Amino acid sequence: MQTVTLEITGMTCGGCVRSVSNVLKALDGVAKAEVSLDKRNAVVDYDPAKVELDQLKRSVVEAGFEVAS
Ligand SMILES: [Cu+2]
């Protein structure tokens, strides 16, 4: 299991946090996703054998937010 912190811009409310959290948790291989509006990030525990970091980022972008690499 690996932990990564994604810096996310564009989240403005609890709904955004839920959206980001939902798309991350929907990915196979993601064990945990803690999204913070204050810190503007998501701390994600994932299994690199099942899902790649790029896929995590892409799912957040597809949900309408931006991820700083
Ligand atoms: Cu929102």
Domain that holds residue 10: 2-68
Predicted local distance difference test score (pLDDT) of residue 45? 98
Predicted local distance difference test score (pLDDT) of residue 6? 98
Strands 2-9 and 41-46: antiparallel
Q: Which residues pair with 7 in a beta bridge?
A: 41, 68
Measured in angstroms, how far is the CA atom of residue 34 from the centroid of ligand 1?
A: 16
Instruction: Count structural domains, the chain.
Output: 1
CATH code (residue 9):
3.30.70.100
Q: pLDDT exceeding 90 applies to what percent of the chain?
A: 99
* Strands, sheet with 2-9, edge to edge from the N-terminal-most edge strand: 30-36, 41-46, 2-9, 66-68
At 44, the pLDDT band (50, 70, 90 cuts) reads very high
Q: Which residues pair with 9 in a beta bridge?
A: 66
Neighbours of ion ligand 1 (CB under 5 A): 12-13, 15-16
